[in-house]
Structure 1
């Protein structure tokens, strides 16, 4: 690959890195331009570790012909199991262990090598293989993201040749920089969604980070609390406490997200969420509560089969005006909701155990429903809530919804409409 197309490709990578081109498009564009410049690439894989609660990293593929492989993939932990064995047999692991940045292999003479992928690549007609590890400095490392890995193959019988390898040595680090830039944006979005919530993360990523900047909104508020969690935590082993809390948090968060809600905060075993969809937020909250019960049933069946403790949960629903935005100190902010309505919904949820009901709603919530929705909620009485100046009527789901299949079917159709 001559100097002029090489410089053009470097410039293209810089421009696309600045504009935020996705990683798979970066790799595809890079390989297409390499081939147009005379480099006989046949296959490429690049990958980079990330910060994610489930995946260890993400990778991207390019081939010179159609395959049934996806052009992007995610991988879990390589510290144990089959993934660990595959990683330890890779050229990248060998290079890291031996302090190498580059490794070239003649695929026509690889029968004695015990590297993963090598024989498969040779069987598919690839003739020459070269892999690179580009390490980040300490200031450029995020969690486990400390290297950019890549390998490249050609079907050309004489291999890449020194001039092609020289071009790859110049170009791959620039590709790595562009991929790293895109990966860091993905990490920021992932961390935002995981720790702040979906909509809240978007607000922060759009620049709403100034202290004290809030907006007054009307929202349906959800507060759920796992039933008897303290007593259960005292009975089970320490290593079971976090899986127990995670299982029941997953059941509620999945239900809230499926119904279009926003999880704002996890408070021990409690979940604070809100629904803001105009005209349908209250029905969406009821839909989330209904899905939550189904999730709990499935979860309890699984946990019981494993000999693990099971429980249920209380849910309080309320509607009111809240302040939504940045609250805190100059160097530690929380993007959340505050206001009397937030205190009220937690108090409503805490009343569930007193009246032996798994769902309680405020009168404001019930009054905001249409006529059909109001018919499914019945009064449990008037109560003084701790820390709230005035007593109020609380409502729960009509027992006929659980006892009568016909009523249950009508309620489900109401929630789905």
Structure 2
């Protein structure tokens, strides 16, 4: 009887490539996809114990999103790298830097052959973990300026064979195409989240893209702006003005998102946000949550002003209005240039209310509809005329 020799990884790569090009492959959960990819490599005969994949992205805070897989982990770990990491020792003393900044076809180090001091600090950690061979392959993306890479490591005493490396290069030529699709999906979602907001971005991705398409929702509305911004914009240099706005919006936005709200629009020095009301029984919760967010945001502003004053800068003054009502949420604009926004009488009312913060000497004011669920937390300021609104509205502030 003839016993067949066990096939090598290079003989089995068709199984991995077949899995990659399967149209049913799930790319929506990157950590699961990377974990399954590692398992497919092992099933095909590759002795793989560790894989790291940094994926370049377009994000206001993140330079890349990485995934670290180790044999024994149930799922790959997500690792976010912020802008500026390229100036730190973590990057400057990393072998990945050589791949990103040179044209070398790959980087390989037999860890068992290395002597101290090690070429790169990470090698000490890998050797302690029992890894014997280390390989980085570059990944190129079409129509994208930045290069990616993928890092393989094994505990096999013999390391990676030359045929393993050649086979991996063939697999990565296909994997890179799939990775580009996954990266573009992430970038698209990130850009929509960044410029439209998460909920609006998801609505656009789900197909709500035609002019006039929209939905009606009920929400607690938040409108805030800076006092004296017109005068500031005439006096301050452009860079100082932008920095000031970013500091102010950071104070507001941090609390809005912490308490489940979403910023829909920045309008000069103003921001419009919503706290959705899920059903008829959710109104009180939404209003109380929005009020908690507003109080924390104003505390954030107080802390910011203390920092500014210690630096010899002037304090920022803000006005914040809270209202509740039904609004239309959807696409408005020209046939070729649309804006996803909120319109309706409730939006007009809350923006007009904010304009009364300064005349009334209050930082925060709320409508009767908003204040009603808040009980003793609010005190009436009487009825007041809102610009462009015929009927006077009773306004409230913090008690």
TM-score category, normalised to shorter length:
0.7 to 0.9
| Cα separation, partners in 2 of 1:130 and 1:3, compared to 1, 3 Å | closer
1:73 aligns to what? 79
CA distance in structure 1 between the aligned counterparts of 2:186 and 2:47, rounded to whole angstroms: 31
Output aligned runs, 1:16-31, within 5 Å.
18-31=25-38
| Cα separation, partners in 2 of 1:18 and 1:208, compared to 1, 3 Å | farther
CA distance in structure 1 between the aligned counterparts of 2:249 and 2:364, rounded to whole angstroms: 17
1:165 aligns to 2:172 (yes or no):
no
CA distance in structure 1 between the aligned counterparts of 2:81 and 2:137, rounded to whole angstroms: 19
1:206 aligns to what? 206
CA distance in structure 2 between the aligned counterparts of 1:121 and 1:9, rounded to whole angstroms: 26
2:123 aligns to what? 118
Query: How many residue pairs are counted as aligned between the two chains?
Result: 386
* Structure 1: stretches of 5+ with no match in the other structure: 399-417
C-alpha distance after superposition, 1:1-30 (max 9, x if no partner): 346632122222233874225232223222
C-alpha distance after superposition, 1:67-93 (max 9, x if no partner): 9x97221112357532xx543444343
The answer to whether the 8 Å contact 1:43/1:152 transfers is yes
Which of 71, 87, 91 is residue 91 of structure 2 equivalent to? 87
| Cα separation, partners in 2 of 1:320 and 1:28, compared to 1, 3 Å | closer
User: The residue matched to 1:157 in structure 2 has which SS?
Assistant: coil
2:276 aligns to what? 276
2:5 aligns to what? none
The answer to whether the 8 Å contact 1:41/1:155 transfers is yes
* Structure 2: stretches of 5+ with no match in the other structure: 1-7
Deviation (angstroms), 1:226 = 1.9
User: The residue matched to 1:39 in structure 2 has which SS?
Assistant: coil
329-338 vs 147-156, greater mean Cα deviation = 147-156
The answer to whether the 8 Å contact 1:200/1:335 transfers is yes
**Root-mean-square deviation (Å):** 2.8
Runs (4 or more) in structure 1 with deviation over 6 Å come to: none
Output aligned runs, 1:18-417, within 5 Å.
18-64=25-71, 71-78=77-84, 81-82=87-88, 85-111=89-115, 114-115=119-120, 117-138=122-143, 141=144, 146-232=146-232, 238-277=238-277, 278-280=282-284, 281-366=286-371, 369-370=372-373, 373-398=374-399
| Cα separation, partners in 2 of 1:173 and 1:302, compared to 1, 3 Å | farther
The answer to whether the 8 Å contact 2:323/2:366 transfers is yes
50-59 vs 333-342, greater mean Cα deviation = 333-342
C-alpha distance after superposition, 1:158-198 (max 9, x if no partner): 32112211221121233333333223222222222221122
CA distance in structure 2 between the aligned counterparts of 1:136 and 1:350, rounded to whole angstroms: 49
Deviation (angstroms), 1:310 = 2.2
Deviation (angstroms), 1:249 = 0.7
| Cα separation, partners in 2 of 1:117 and 1:16, compared to 1, 3 Å | farther
User: The residue matched to 1:19 in structure 2 has which SS?
Assistant: coil
The answer to whether the 8 Å contact 1:22/1:182 transfers is no
| Cα separation, partners in 2 of 1:228 and 1:7, compared to 1, 3 Å | same
